[in-house]
Each structure stands twice: as structure tokens, then as C-alpha cells.
Amino acid sequence: MRTVHKLKELRTILQNYRAQGKRIALVPTMGNLHDGHISLVSRALEAADVVVTSIFVNPMQFGAHEDLDKYPRTLQADQERLEQAGNTLVFAPPVSEIYPQGLAQQTQVVVPGVSEGHCGAGRPGHFEGVATVVTMLFNMVQPDVAVFGEKDFQQLAVIRKLTQDLRLPVEVIGAPTVRDADGLALSSRNGYLSTEERHKASTLYKVLRSVASELQGNNPAEIGKLEQEAAAQLQEAGFRPEYVNVVNSLTLQPAQPSDRDLTVLAAAFLGTTRLIDNISVQR
């Protein structure tokens, strides 16, 4: 496995793979890798001959008061995990390689519709940062396929839409959420939780499962009540809920009576740590 930091070197290596007829997959990450990330690499290995994992803590997707400065940078440990997983190439550029003229002068990609509401409402500018850097990575790597986790459900919807709208020749694959034994979705930010908070954290998934169960037996007209009850349960458990929304899985718009493919989206703070999760429901 090789690690490169410069775009020119990355393109030279990938050009050689393409000349050999190799199929290339991209797994974009911000590093601090856990088993959920490794599952994305495993899925990419099923879909391609060469897997490029990018490790880049993208400043454009962090708000002014978010955790950019303290976000863990663990490149050496990440490299070891990726090599064991069979990853081919790591692209770990410095910020200056991605944004050589600074963020203020950077062209941005805006994805209307699916980027609005939910996490988009609570984190203004976040999905513009995600969409911009993913579009750049698609251009830099020019992969045949790219793999993203379904835990970040709204992010996946944003990436699918930008790929479709911009006619990018990339197959986007969503990989299932990987969870701890108690149901907590794996996330790099779980490391911020105290021991007591970690014991409580799985309540988020339990509440989502309860909502999903109710949805399978209730008329969508009652969805607003289910959302309110779920938020109240989270608050009683010590969370500070940001939202619990039941949406059409494709559009991410509020669920309608005719919808059959639904997703329950949630975000909540536990202490200072923001957790997100989702669960899909077939009616």
C-alpha cells in the first residue's frame, strides 16, 4: 500500500492502473478510522480492483464553533488499518493541496433540496463543504465507483444527487451502518463521549427502532406525534435532541400518506457530542 500527498503523484499512479484496465474505487474519509470505515473499504474491494481511500479533514464542512481543531488526526494508525484491510492507495493531502487559494476563493458546489433541513438546518454550509470536496475528489481520482456509509444518510443523498445532476460517471454505493453490540452507530465522534455518556448513547438507536415499529402500524397522519414523542424520550434520557424527522427516503421531504419507503432521521447532543443516526422502514 502506498500513501501520497500530492495530486500530481496520485494522478500518475492512477493513470498506470487505468492503462492496465483496472477498475478504481474511492472511499472518502476524514481519518480516525474505525470498523465502519473498514467496512467501506471491504465493500469497495468487492466492486473494484484498486481502492483509493482519501484521508482529509475538510475545513469547509465545519462550522465556526465546531470541532475542526480537535478532530482527531491519526494518519499512522489509519495507514496500518487500511493496509491490513487490503487498501491499495491512501491519498492524504494537506489543506493547501485541496484549497491552494484558501476557502474564501474556492468555487463551491450547492445541492438544493436534499441538503436542506435536518442536518442542513443545524449546520449551515456543511453540505456545501461536503459536496464541494467530494466533487473535487471525484475529479482528482476519477473513480469508477465510490462507497459511502448509510449512517450519514442525508450526506449520501446529497452525493447521489450531485453525481446525477452533474452527470458524473461514478457509481455511488451506500454501505450499511456498522454498529456496536448495543446498537450505537460507529462514529469517530463517539470517542468524545464520557464513560457515562457512552452507556446512554445506545438509547438513540433504541428510540429510532421504536419509531420504526410504530410506523409499520400507524397512519402517516400521526407521524408528527411520533416525532414529538421520540424527541421527548431522548430528552428524558439525557439527550438534547436537535431533530427526529420521518421522511421519504428518496427526497428527504416529510413523509406523506402515500409514501412506502421511509427513513427516520435523528440528531441529538449527548453532553457536547453530536450524534446522528437513522433507520429505514418499508410500509
| Shared domain check, 167 and 195 | no
Q: Is residue 13 part of a domain?
A: yes
Q: In what order do the strands lie in the sheet with 24-29?
A: 2-4, 89-91, 50-55, 24-29, 145-149, 171-175
Exactly one of 34, 37, 118, 126 is catalytic; name it: 37
End residue of a domain, out of 116, 145, 175: 175
DSSP label at residue 64: T
Supply the CATH number for residue 198's domain.
Answer: 3.30.1300.10
Question: How confident is the prediction for the chain on average, in pLDDT?
Answer: 96
103 and 208 share one domain? no
Is residue 62 in some structural domain?
A: yes
Contact 170, 72 (CB under 8 A): no
User: Is 199 an active-site residue?
Assistant: no
What does the alpha-carbon distance between residue 134 and residue 109 come to, in Å, rounded to a whole number? 9
DSSP state of 98: H
Query: Does pLDDT of 30 surpass 60?
Result: yes
The answer to whether residue 73 sits within a structural domain is yes
Q: Is 242 helix (H, G, I), strand (E, B) or coil?
A: strand
- Cβ atoms within 10 A of the Cβ of 38, count? 20
Which of 245 and 65 is assigned the larger pLDDT?
A: 245
| Domain final position from 112, 142, 175 | 175
pLDDT at residue 256, as a whole number:
87
Domain identity same for 85 and 36:
yes
Judge if 89 and 170 occupy the same domain: yes
Contact 255, 247 (CB under 8 A): yes
Residue 133 has phi, psi (to 5 degrees) of: -70, -35
54 and 157 co-located in one domain: yes
pLDDT-wise least confident of 61-75, 100-114, 233-247? 61-75
When pLDDT is averaged across residues 91-98 and rounded to a whole number, the result is: 97
pLDDT over threshold 90, residue 29 = yes
49 lies in the same domain as 117: yes
Distance CA 230, CA 221 (A): 16
- 155 and 234 together in one domain: no
**Judgement on whether residues 34 and 120 belong to the same structural domain of the protein:** yes
Can you tell me the mean pLDDT for 113-123?
95
How many angstroms separate the CA atoms of 43 and 162, rounded? 22
| Claim to verify: residue 200 and residue 221 sit in the same structural domain | yes
Are 153 and 229 found together in one domain? no
Q: Is residue 27 part of a domain?
A: yes
Which of 175, 205, 222 is the last residue before a domain boundary?
A: 175
Collapsed DSSP state (helix, strand, coil) of residue 127: helix
**Are both 171 and 195 inside the same structural domain?**
no
Instruction: Report the percentage of the chain scoring pLDDT > 70.
Output: 99
Q: Which amino acid is at 154?
A: Q
Average pLDDT over residues 83-102: 97
Does one domain contain both 198 and 171?
no
Average pLDDT over residues 226-238: 97
Residue type at 174?
Answer: G
Q: Are 79 and 90 in contact (CB under 8 A)?
A: yes
| 240-248: average pLDDT | 97
d(CA 232, CA 45): 42
Phi and psi at 171, nearest 5°, equal -85, 120
Residue 225: burial class (beta carbons within 10 Å; 0-12, 13-18, 19+)? exposed
pLDDT exceeds cutoff 70 at 221: no
Three-state secondary structure along 132-172?
A: HHHHHHHHHHCCCEEEEECCCHHHHHHHHHHHHHCCCCCEE
Classify residue 210: in a domain, yes or no: yes
| 88 is a domain residue | yes
Average pLDDT over residues 244-266: 94
Residue numbers of the domain that contains 72: 2-175
Measure the CA–CA gap between 132 and 87, rounded to whole angstroms.
25
Q: Is the pLDDT of residue 77 over 70?
A: yes
Cβ-proximal residues to 19 (8 Å cutoff; 6+ apart), any chain: none
Q: Does the residue 156 lie in any domain? A: yes
Q: Give 219's pLDDT tier (boundaries 50, 70, 90).
A: low
How far apart CA 196 and CA 210 sit, in angstroms, is 23
Q: Region 210-221: what's the mean pLDDT?
A: 80
Q: Looking at the predicted structure, is the pLDDT value of residue 231 above 90? A: yes
Q: How many domains does the chain have?
A: 2
| Residue 208 covered by a domain | yes
Amino acid, res. 10 = L
Q: How far from 223 is each of 155, 205, 217, 240, CA to CA, in Å?
A: 23, 18, 11, 20
**Chain centroid to CA 65:** 20
Name the pLDDT band for 283 (thresholds 50, 70, 90): confident
d(CA 209, CA 279): 7
